[in-house]
Amino acid sequence: MSLRPASLDDAPALGTILSDWIDETVWMPRLHSRAEDRGFVEGLIRDAEVWTDETRSGFVARSGEEVPALYLAPGARGRGLGAELLNAARTRRESLGLWTFQANSRAVAFYLREGFTEAHRTEGDNAEGLPDIRLIWRRAP
Burial class (CB in 10 A: 0-12, 13-18, 19+), 127: exposed
Q: Which CATH number fits the domain that encloses residue 58?
A: 3.40.630.30
**Which of 19, 96, 14, 113 is CA-nearest to residue 62?**
96
- The 10 Å Cβ neighbour count of residue 58 is 24
Question: How far are the Cα atoms of 66, 71, 81, 109, 136 from residue 2, in angstroms, in the given order?
Answer: 23, 17, 10, 25, 26
DSSP character at residue 87: H
Does position 1 have pLDDT exceeding 90, yes or no? no
82-105 per-position pLDDT tens digit: 999 999 999 999 999 999 999 999
The whole-model pTM stands at 0.95
How high is the pLDDT of residue 77?
93
Cα(79)–Cα(64) distance, rounded to whole angstroms? 27
**Which of 88, 64, 99 is CA-nearest to residue 6?**
88
Percent of the chain at pLDDT exceeding 70? 99
The range of the structural domain enclosing residue 101 comes to 3-138
**Which of 74, 98, 91 is CA-nearest to residue 19?**
74
107-133 per-position pLDDT tens digit: 999 999 999 999 999 999 999 999 999
26-64 per-position pLDDT tens digit: 999 999 999 999 999 999 999 999 999 999 999 999 999
Number of domains in the chain: 1
According to DSSP H, which parts of the chain are helical? Answer: 11-24, 34-47, 81-90, 105-113
How high is the pLDDT of residue 141?
86
